[in-house]
Each structure stands twice: as structure tokens, then as C-alpha cells.
Chain A
């Protein structure tokens, strides 16, 4: 935990006005009995989660508990690491097993975008950053690209700040702007799901607030899964929360329930800042 709060989070927690009940939402991602290994080392143990469509799901837990690992399993980024393997169970998106033989990880990643902990704008212009995904897909039409750039930047609440310098390097932006540029780049390829791995951990409070605001906007169109170290952030942004500890899913439910009346004593201890 970054900042253990003096007051237990569970008592100061207010249900944000923006929270949407996960009830009534359709399930988009089903993770069943999922075991994941780095070589011989097991990182995830028997994970079972149902992630709701067009909602924000937060993954919380102490460092090294496997949040990033699970997140990266959802767009198969772990394929890039030597020796990783899914030993048991499945991850299904719209009932399709994404680790199945007939699933192409390239196609999967077009549908499941990712925003990284360390913002990673490419050393190209803002414009080129946004259209990167489309260029790869072979889109050439200038008018279409222009349109996507504006739409994505507006979608990431960045348009007004950068519209006059689209052809300057994306690296000239501030940290918060860079992270929103990465979000804009992700939504430019119109994914269904956006995975965010501690997107605000390197940002100041104001930039963090902007990204959080953006998340509320984005969930109208996208299913968002966010890994966070900050319990306050999970409480503010998410509809559902999953608490992990040592590679196991300890508790999963409505964010309100996880923070206000957790069933598991470990969850209670973590969200109230007693360990982490």
C-alpha cells in the first residue's frame, strides 16, 4: 500500500455518485479455475471471477499478489514472457476461450487494449501516436485518420490541450497528459475492454483526478479493468472490486460491499489499512 490511511478506509468510504451497480449487467469475461505459471513458479491459484460488461472492475492487493499477472492474462501479454503457461482453467470473453487454439493473440489485443503503469507514448508525434493502431491495420485514408484522432483525443479528454500541437512529439506532454495520450491511443482502435495497470501510480493528484474522471466517462462505452495500489482510487472509480493475496482471489464483489462490509477478515484488514 502506498499511503496507509490513519482512518480505516471502510469507515470513510462513501459510495460515489458515479458508481453503477454490477447487478443487471451482463457478464463479459469469465475466468474459471485459472492457474498460471511463470516457468515452474505458480503465480495465480484457482482464480474465478465474472467481470461485468461496461463496468469498472478494480484489482487490489499487496505488491506481488498477482494483479498485473492476471490483467496481462486477459490480453495474453504474458505470451511474450518465456516459459509462461496456463496450466488449468480458462479465460472466456463472450464465451470464447482466449487461450484456445483458434484464437489469434493479435486479434485479441485489438479487442482488449492496455494502458501501462509507466506511460509509454512512442517517440513520435501526438498524431502518429494515436493512429499507430490504425496504421498497423492498414488504414490509409487521411480523412478517416483525422477523424479518429479528434474523436480519440476528445474521448480521452485531451483534445483541447493538444489540438494545436498534434504534430509535436508526444514526449513533450506532461506525465498526466502522456497517460491520457496512451488511453487515447488505446481507444483509437475501438477495443471492447481496456486494461489499466496502475495507470495513476506515477501521476500527481490533479492528473490522477483527471484520469479517474476519464474512467467514469469511458465506462459508458468500454469495460474497464483497473489494477490499483490506492484503495481510495478503487473505491472512487470501480463498481466491482477483486482482492488478491499471494496469487489467490480472496474476495470479489460489489465495490461497496468489499469496502463497507467485507466478508473475509483478510479483506477487512487490507481495506482498513492494517496491512499491505
Chain B
């Protein structure tokens, strides 16, 4: 026979218990708030921006029979005016052609020329094609420079240099560099590349400025990735009579590459998104020519470009806010997110491919 005893495991309410519960809720709510904020930011951009982008599809008469004016045209001023009792919105080129046509028609009919009273909004018509091109050029160029310099210096620091005061000093310097605000890099780039090297406001100046900005990330990431390669691979290679560089080249670097790429993805987003480093060094408010319209190859490197983040800044700061400009702002931000996602996705695919090849 079992005796029924009192439940010694019964829960007893205490301040400790309620504290337990409330801490749990604090952490939980904090997480939810962050999640909510994230959704709000992305939702806002995607919701408002996609309207601009997807609203800009137009049919054309030749293959592929459609185009997206927002993605493929240069920015133009928007003219809003009333004509024959109707409210019209037109881009700069279209507006001028329209005005000429109407004037000529009126003259031909012997009527007085029509009066156009249009309100103009800068950059609110057309698209952002030159900005997309500019940003892609800036990202590709600066990441190439940053990876070449960063990986080289990471190899030097972690494979060649002996641990000592010098290396510790270099690491400290790199760490400090990571904390420097991007506007300071912009000023440095302006003083160094634009003025001192006399490169003017140019792609080259922007590349180097952006490259220096992400270098700390690239170096630190590369060092970590190199350290993660087992010592046995190096020793095994050296024991077979390989030199140090042969070892690094064929038995260390290939395995470290996926790791280097992973963290460089963060660098890509930063390079693509920063306004401050390029506003004095590489970005033009507006530029008629596309970057490939150059006479000499060398001119290519010494021309400024339009860029997405700077375009957002220009559109948002130069003119009073209205429905027409916010259209461009959000559209640009949306495209910007899309491009960063695209570049990041392709590096992730590349990384996974490499990672699949080298596993240990």
C-alpha cells in the first residue's frame, strides 16, 4: 500500500521566481522590439520603393518589348503643369518636346502661343541608371583594392611576421582604424587623393578611400580565416620540400578564401552604402555622360560618378520634401538594397562553392 504524502515538489511563489519571469520577459520584449524595428525599416522601403520601381515598367516597340525607366534612365527634373485643364507630369526632355510641339501647333493654327506654368522638381523624373552603374563600379574597384592589400597584409602578419612589438603595434593601429568614422576617411581621401595626388574627384580617389575604410575588416577577417587553417597543412607541405610561399599559395590560401569572402560580404554592404567617404572624393551630384563614354582608357579612372547613397542624400537634402521626391528616395533605397543583396548573394554562392571544394 502506498501512503499519500504531501507534494514536496510543489511550486512555491517567491520573489526569486517572479524576478525569473520578469527577466525572461524583458529579454523577450527586447528581441521583439528589434525585430519590429527591422520589419518597419525594411517594410517601409520595400513598400514605398517597389511602387516606384514596378510602376516604371513601360512597353517598347523593339525587343524585349518592355523597359523600366527607373532602372535604365538618367535622373531628370520633373515638370508638373496644367494644360488644357488637365494636370500633366513630364520629365525634362519630354516636357521640352511637348512645349515645342504645342507652340508650333498653336502658331500653325494662328492662335497665340500657349503659356506653360510648370513647377519643377529636381531629379524627380527619369531613373537612376548612372547611380547604379557608379555604385557597382565603386564597389568592385574598392573591394578589389581592399582584398589585394588586406589579404597581403594579413598573410604578412599571420604567416611571416614574428610576434613582437611591431606586429602588436600594427594590429592596434588596424583596430583603431576600424573605429574611425567614415567622414574622416572622406576627408583623408579628399586631402590625400583628390588634392595631393591631384586625381580630382574621381573613381580612383573613391576606390582608395573606400578601400582604406574597409581594410580593417578585410585584414582582421583574413587573419582569422588564415588562422583557422590547421597547422598540419602547413607542416605537411613544408615537410615535402615546399617553400613558405608555395605552401601559402597552394595549401593555405585556397582553404582560407571562403572565410575571407564571408566577412568581405559585410565590407561590400559598407562600401556600397557609405555616403561620407565618396561625397568629396568620387561622387557627382549629376553627370550626363556614362562612365564608359571616355576618350582615353585612362580617363575612365579619373572621372567622377553618380552613386546610389549619394543620390539619396542629394535628393533628400536639396529640396523640400514632397510626394515627387520621396518617390525617388524610396525607389533608390529599394534598388540599393536589391543591389547589395545581389552582390552579397553572389559572394555567398562563390563562397559555398569554394567551401564545398575544400572541407576538412
Contact = CB atoms under 8 A, between A and B. Distances in A.
Interface string A128-166: 000011011100000000000000000000000000000
B58 interface: no
Contacts of B246: 136
A120 B162 contact: no
Q: How large is the interface on B (under 10, 10 to 19, 20 to 34, 35 or more residues)?
A: 20 to 34
Given A82-B162, A136-B246, A120 B233 contact: yes
Given A135-B250, A136-B246, A122 B239 contact: no
A50 interface: no
A185 B232 CA distance: 14
Given A82-B163, A122-B251, A171-B360, A136 B240 contact: yes
Contacts of A189: 240-241
A107 B241 CA distance: 6
Contacts of B237: 122, 132, 136
Interface stretch (A109-117, A228-236, A246-254): A109-117
Contact of B240 (A80, A109, A171): A109
A229 B255 CA distance: 33
Given A82-B163, A135-B250, A136-B246, A123 B359 contact: yes
Contacts of B243: 106, 136
B137 interface: no
B198 interface: no
B236 to A, nearest CB: 4
Contacts of B238: 77, 80, 109
A194 to B, nearest CB: 10
Contacts of B233: 120, 122-123
Interface in B156-202: 162-163
A106 B250 contact: no
Contacts of A169: 359
Contacts of A171: 359-360
Contacts of B251: 122, 132
B241 A110 contact: yes
B230 interface: yes
B44 interface: no
B227 to A, nearest CB: 15
A219 interface: no
Contacts of A182: 236
Contacts of B360: 123, 171
Contact of B235 (A110, A116, A133, A137): A116
B234 to A, nearest CB: 8
B242 interface: yes
A75 interface: yes
Given A123-B359, A135-B250, A77 B240 contact: no
10 contacts: A77-B235, A109-B239, A114-B235, A118-B232, A122-B251, A123-B358, A132-B250, A136-B237, A136-B246, A186-B240
